[in-house]
Structures are given as structure tokens and as C-alpha cells.
Amino acid sequence: MSEHREPVNASNAPAAIGPYVHAIRSGGLLFCSGQIGLDPRTGDLAGATAADQAGRCLENLAAVCHAAGTSLGDAVRLTIYMTDMASFASVNDVYQSFFESDPPARVAIGVAALPRGAKVEIDAVVAIPA
């Protein structure tokens, strides 16, 4: 393992569904792998709507942040991937509830498909407090 990057695995987030870790800590930043809306207890998608799944994605990212000693409130950038951009407003409502003030920079991208038939995936770059 490189001294410049430290893997982070969160026990309260769903297990990785591929050859990756939940996040990498490097240079004062936490680079979080994308989270789909999997329930960490069952491994099933949490909810049928994009909004439901977005909420679970953000909860999963919060668990990853916590495992690294930071919080989702310290996020500097999130990327939201959606299979249906018509769900943008409902996903935005859920997103806003996680970042009521001082939200991070963000990108929203429409994609053809996501793993496990998910409607939403979210990744993050998070500052780690000194």
C-alpha cells in the first residue's frame, strides 16, 4: 500500500459489489466510490423511486465519511448519476435535505444504466478536518 493513499472501508455501508474500496484517503481528501441505493443490511435496493434511492445513496456516503473521521457536511463535490433526468426535481429535494446550508459543488449526469438496475448513483470528494 502506498503511503500517499489509505483505503477506507465502512462497516455501516453496503459491501462493495466489485473490486474497489468504499473510499481512499489521500492528501487531506476522501475520494468516495460511487454508492447506489443499497440497504447495507439486506443488499437490496432501498425503494423503487429515484428519490428513495438517492436518500439511501447519501446515507451510505455519510457512513463512509464517518468511517474516515469526517462527515458528508465536509463534502467539496458530489456527482449524481441518474438513469432518468425527469427525476431530477425529486432527487434534488432529497439532496437538499442533506445539505440545508452551504452545499458542496455538484454535477448531475444522465446515464443509460447503473449497476443492479439502480436509478441513482452518487460519489463524493470530502475534506478531512485537520
What's the structural domain count of the chain? 1
Query: Is residue 1 domain-resident?
Result: no
pTM for the structure as a whole: 0.96
DSSP secondary structure code for residue 14 in this structure: P
Distance of CA 37 to the CA centre of its chain: 9
Helices 88-98/50-67 angle, 10° precision: 30
Per-residue confidence (pLDDT) for residue 91, from 0 to 100: 98
Task: Return the CATH number at 39.
Answer: 3.30.1330.40
Per-residue confidence (pLDDT) for residue 121, from 0 to 100: 98
Contacts of 16 (CB under 8 A, 6+ apart): 22, 33
Query: Is residue 39 domain-resident?
Result: yes
Q: Is 26 exposed, middle or buried (0-12, 13-18, 19+ CB in 10 A)?
A: middle
Neighbouring C-beta atoms of residue 109, cutoff 10 Å: 10
For CA atoms 44, 93, 67, 9, the dihedral sign is: positive
Find the domain containing 107 and state its range: 6-127
Per-residue confidence (pLDDT) for residue 1, from 0 to 100: 59
Give, rounded to a whole angstrom, the gap between the first and last alpha carbons of the chain.
22
pLDDT in tens, the chain (130 residues): 567 999 999 999 999 999 999 999 999 999 999 999 999 999 999 999 999 999 999 999 999 999 999 999 999 999 999 999 999 999 999 999 999 899 999 999 999 999 999 999 999 999 999 8
In the structure, how many helices (H) and strands (E) does the chain have?
Answer: 2, 6
